[in-house]
Chains A and B, each alone.
Chain A
Amino acid sequence: MAVHVKIPTPLRKFTEGNERVEVVGENVGALLEEMERRFPGIRERLCDDQGKVRRFVNLYLNGDDVKFLGGLATKLAEGDEIAIVPAIAGGRS
């Protein structure tokens, strides 16, 4: 199932400048794995050495904060939208 992922400016260097990509994954964890396969290096920016999402990273599923839903196990459905949002960052587009 394809999910729309919105990419923040500082990470668009991994997605060939695209601010929006389509990624397949049945839950958020699987989605991050798939993103790493397609955009090598991006996972390290989002997750620490133990695979946990970094503290300053927010993931929103259709506007709701994933950490208050089911974390990495949060199920995804066709057409969902995931937004990756850092606390605050600069970044030229």
Chain B
Amino acid sequence: MSARPDGFRADSLVDLVGRTPLLRLRGVTADLPPKVRVWAKLEGFNPGGSIKDRPALRMLQEGLRTGNLRQGKVIIDSTSGNTGIALAMLGAALGFPVEMVVPSNASIERRQIIQAFGAKLIESDPLEGSDGAIRLCREIIADDRDRYFKPDQYFNEANPLAHYETTGPEIWEQTCGRVTHFLAGIGTSGTIMGTGRFLKEQNSAIRIMAIEPDDAFHGLEGLKHMASSIVPGIYHEGELDDKIPTPTDEAYDMVYRLGREEGLLVGQSSGAACWAALKLARTLDEGEIVIVFPDFGDKYLSTNLWQGWGEMPRPADLPQR
């Protein structure tokens, strides 16, 4: 369950999903009280490059078990990117054709990676964001219902179950049961629902806190502002202890700091997680805070995170430490 031993060998790609490392952050946390530690679960180590490999695999396994996914079916879903990459990768590995509905303003790297796995990319209206992709996907399926298997990550209980069965136990073991706070962003809410449920069962005092954009109009790709969004069926707000609204600008700045101060190039949702964790950490005397870094940052080099309005930092322009 813990990080893989050296020389790990796998018979199948699916055996490489999960068991990601937990890294203690030591640079951006330098000004915290000495008994407060922040640990990042580095989900970029999954074979598809993000945490979405876990729910994608679990949802396909459930589909195969129930017979809803079988030869002749096409895997289809709407996604802002990482789930599409995970499903395209697993579809290729398991021998299923894949079609993904993605808002056309998802990063070019994500869209290209999905296609590199042989999947068909269907672009939805960028003005309508991820909800526009959800609606378009529903329309496509309605035209030919028997053709498709839709994992339906926003409503499929196998999504949070993946985290209940893997992410949660890994964190519990990697922190030797000492975790006091678990923070994760909400996209589908699968990560925080499943992981939170497992951790609460081990120790009900563990605080489960969700990170969400501070406004409906934001730049945190992958995260949802729940109050203004289609609410996922798997989301149960009552299971959260708190929510931390996070401004896009602060999350972006934290991405730049993580690169220079930790040696971690991550995406904006990781920046948001880290900003929220440090905000929380400054209010504590002691604690073991675990946050999720959903992916690494190489998929975002073409996005507004790094390509901006002239006055924005480009990697080469950032001040040296």
Partner-B contacts on A (CB < 8 A):
6-11, 19, 45, 48, 52-58, 67, 71, 83-93
Count of B interface residues, CB-CB < 8 Å: 37
* B304 adjacent to A55 (CB under 8 Å): yes
> B219's closest neighbor in chain A, by CB?
A56
Given contacts A9-B127, A55-B312, A93-B128, contact A87 B216 (CB under 8 A): no
Query: Could you say which of A45, A48, A84, A88 contacts B215, with CB atoms under 8 Å apart?
Result: A45
A6 to B218, CA, bound (A): 17
Partner among A7, A54, A86 whose Cβ is within 8 Å of the Cβ of B129: A86
Which residues in window 191-244 of B have CB below 8 A to A?
Answer: 213, 215-222, 224-225, 228-230
How far, in angstroms, from A84 to B220 measured CA to CA in the complex? 16
| Chain B residues with CB below 8 A from A54, complex form | 219, 248-249
Select one of A7, A11, A67, A86 contacting B309, CB under 8 A.
Answer: A67
Q: Which of A7, A10, A53 has the most CB of B within 10 A?
A: A10
A89 & B309 in contact (Cβ 8 Å cutoff): no
Cβ-neighbour of A90 out of B105, B224, B249, B308 (below 8 A): B224
- Which residues from chain A contact B220 at a C-beta distance below 8 Å? 56, 87-88
Q: How far is the CB of B201 from chain A (nearest CB, A)?
A: 30
Task: Please give the residue numbers on chain B whose beta carbons come within 8 Å of chain A beta carbons, in ascending order.
Answer: 80, 103, 105-106, 126-132, 213, 215-222, 224-225, 228-230, 248-249, 252, 268, 303-305, 308-312
Consensus secondary structure, chain B interface: loop
Contacts of B128 in A (CB 8 A): 8-9, 91, 93
**In the complex, which residue of chain A has the Cβ closest to the Cβ of B133?**
A88
State which of A10, A55, A57 has its C-beta within 8 Å of the C-beta of B216: A10
Query: Across the interface, do A55 and B131 meet the contact criterion of CB distance under 8 Å?
Result: no
Chain A residues contacting B218 (CB-CB under 8 Å) are: 10, 56, 86-87, 89
Q: List 17 A-B contacts (CB under 8 A).
A: A7-B127, A8-B128, A11-B217, A56-B248, A58-B105, A58-B304, A67-B310, A84-B127, A87-B105, A87-B268, A88-B103, A88-B130, A89-B213, A89-B218, A89-B225, A90-B224, A90-B229
- Min CB gap A85→B, angstroms: 5
Query: Once the chains are docked, how many angstroms separate the CA of A55 from the CA of B218?
Result: 10
CB proximity of B66 to chain A, nearest CB, Å: 29
Instruction: Kindly report which residue of chain B lies nearest to residue A84, judged by CB atoms.
Output: B127
Closest to B303 in A: A87
- B221–chain A nearest beta-carbon distance, Å: 4
Smallest CB gap from B104: residue in A? A85
Q: Which residues of A contact B221 (CB under 8 A)?
A: 87-88
Inter-chain contact B127/A85, CB cutoff 8 Å: yes
Chain A: CB-nearest residue to B135: A93
Closest residue to B102 on the A side, CB-wise?
A: A88
- Contacts A6-B127, A89-B217 aside, 18 further interface pairs with beta carbons under 8 A come to A9-B128, A10-B129, A10-B215, A55-B308, A56-B252, A57-B304, A67-B309, A87-B303, A88-B222, A90-B130, A90-B230, A91-B131, A91-B228, A91-B229, A92-B131, A92-B228, A92-B229, A93-B131
Cβ of A11: which chain B residues have Cβ within 8 Å of it? 217
Q: How far is the CA of A84 from the CA of B125 in the complex (A)?
A: 12
Closest CB-CB distance, B170 to chain A, in whole Å?
Answer: 28
CB pair A57–B219 under 8 Å, yes or no, is yes
Chain A neighbourhood of B228, CB < 8 A: 10, 90-92
Q: A89 near B308 (CB under 8 angstroms)?
A: no
Q: Inside 8 A of B126's CB, which chain A residues have their CB?
A: 8, 83, 85
CB distance from B112 to the nearest CB of A (A): 17
